[in-house]
Amino acid sequence: MSVRFLHDRGVIARYREFLPVTDATPVISLNEGSTPLIHSPRLSEIVGRGCKVFVKYEGLNPTGSFKDRGMTMAISKAIEDGAKAVICASTGNTSAAAAAYAARAGVECIVLLPAGKIAMGKLVQAFIYGAKVVAIEGNFDDALRLVRELGATGRVAIVNSINPHRIEGQKTASFEIIEELGDAPDVHILPVGNAGNISAYWKGYREFRDLNRSTKQPRMIGFQASGAAPIFHNRIVENPETLASAIRIGNPASWQFATAALRESGGSIHIVTDEEILEAQRWLASKEGIFVEPASAASIAGLFKCAAQIAAESTVVCTVTGHGLKDPDIAREQCGGVIPAKAEMGAILKLLGWE
Ligand code: F0G
């Protein structure tokens, strides 16, 4: 019996020629990428004037967020370089991805998390994939500072997005969008936390433009949570606060890259409140059937906010970065409970009002 391994499915296999890999690079992959780009008729209607809106649903990656794209690269390169252990600071998704890809590679994974601030689904992922999970009394920015110091000892490879291989992997999302639309979109909207992803998308768009695989580049429009908006306010936020725990970051590592992406693309950065984020999360789930975590819904809240400024006939892509099941508690708090009933037809007909 012949067995066909589907190694052609991950982002390194798909975009090898655009990534810093060689035949000596072991490919540590979970078949990440190739996520759906979903046309949204309702969002298109809200923006109006002939605009078409698509949602890039990154929650359908193997660990449920876009981080898998960068992590396949970071872990593959770490293994190529002989690393026996990897480390990251995280608001939850990076640690889930790092833990999974480290497990796949057979190396140790250490994660530093802000205590009490990680959504349940993400924490459980780090545990089950076998990472050593350290909860620090501090926020993400403190955790990343410590990780930089631990990395400097040379005993462990850092797989946060300060590792340029992460950005390389994440840029493949732009390639997929260009291939699927046949060109780059006019506007790209995404949430911004540590600012690696907006930098990665912009790098991807620029590279495909330079290779004439697209005819244009989108305006990059970023959204931060109003309580954690250092780039918007142009100053470090010492105590960032938002229900969207994934983007609860006060001093983004890729700040300069993000600023360059905004400037070069003619884009801009804005804020959305926690209320707007939660409303957008509910809207996207209940109107389009797409369940995303709160940070991801910042894209949609952002689209609602800037819809009137988008030029007529534009193609717009909103990246939704993580799956809704990552953070069941926040979703649960917003929803009505179950309707209790006896296991009797009469009782059910009555409560449905079908009598
Ligand atoms: N959306 C989600 C679901 C995230 O997990 C993150 C970042 C972002 C958006 C923002 O992306 O940092 O590249 O600007 N999460 C990191 C983590 C910080 O540790 O999982 P960014």
Q: How far is the CA of 42 from the centre of ligand 1 (A)?
A: 26
Does ligand 1 come within 6 angstroms of the Cβ of 302? no
- Whole-number Å distance between alpha carbons of 104 and 207: 30
Cβ-contact 325, 64 below 8 angstroms: yes
Query: What pLDDT is recorded for position 337?
Result: 86
Query: What pLDDT is recorded for position 3?
Result: 53
165 φ/ψ angles, rounded to the nearest 5 degrees: -65, -30
Average pLDDT score over residue span 75-80: 98
Average pLDDT score over residue span 110-132: 97
pLDDT 10s digits, 213-255: 999 999 999 999 999 999 999 999 999 999 999 999 999 999 9
| The amino acid at 27 | V
Q: Which atom of ligand 1 is nearest to the CA of 326?
A: 3
Query: What pLDDT is recorded for position 326?
Result: 98
Question: pTM for the complete prediction?
Answer: 0.96
Query: What pLDDT is recorded for position 9?
Result: 86
Does ligand 1 come within 6 angstroms of the Cβ of 231? no
pLDDT of 184 above 80: yes
- Whole-number Å distance between alpha carbons of 159 and 262: 25
Find where tokens 């506007």 sit. 187
Query: What pLDDT is recorded for position 2?
Result: 52
Q: Average model confidence (pLDDT) for the chain?
A: 96
Average pLDDT score over residue span 182-201: 98
Of 69, 197, 255, 299, best ligand 1 pocket probe by most atoms within 8 Å of the beta carbon: 197
Residue 51 C-alpha from the chain's centroid: 24
Residue 4 pLDDT level (bands cut at 50, 70, 90): low
Q: How far is the CA of 337 from the centre of ligand 1 (A)?
A: 30
Class of residue 304 by CB neighbours under 10 A (exposed 0-12, middle 13-18, buried 19+):
middle
- Whole-number Å distance between alpha carbons of 301 and 295: 10
Does ligand 1 come within 6 angstroms of the Cβ of 319? no
pLDDT of 108 above 80: yes
pLDDT of 332 above 70: yes
275 φ/ψ angles, rounded to the nearest 5 degrees: -60, -45
Average pLDDT score over residue span 93-120: 97
**Of residues 63 and 3, more confidently modeled:** 63
Average pLDDT score over residue span 77-95: 98
Does ligand 1 come within 6 angstroms of the Cβ of 322? yes
Query: What pLDDT is recorded for position 336?
Result: 83
Residue 355 pLDDT level (bands cut at 50, 70, 90): confident
Query: What pLDDT is recorded for position 5?
Result: 54
Q: How far is the CA of 78 from the centre of ligand 1 (A)?
A: 21
Query: What pLDDT is recorded for position 301?
Result: 98
Q: Which atom of ligand 1 is nearest to the CA of 96?
A: 20
pLDDT of 129 above 80: yes
Does ligand 1 come within 6 angstroms of the Cβ of 97? no
- Whole-number Å distance between alpha carbons of 114 and 271: 23
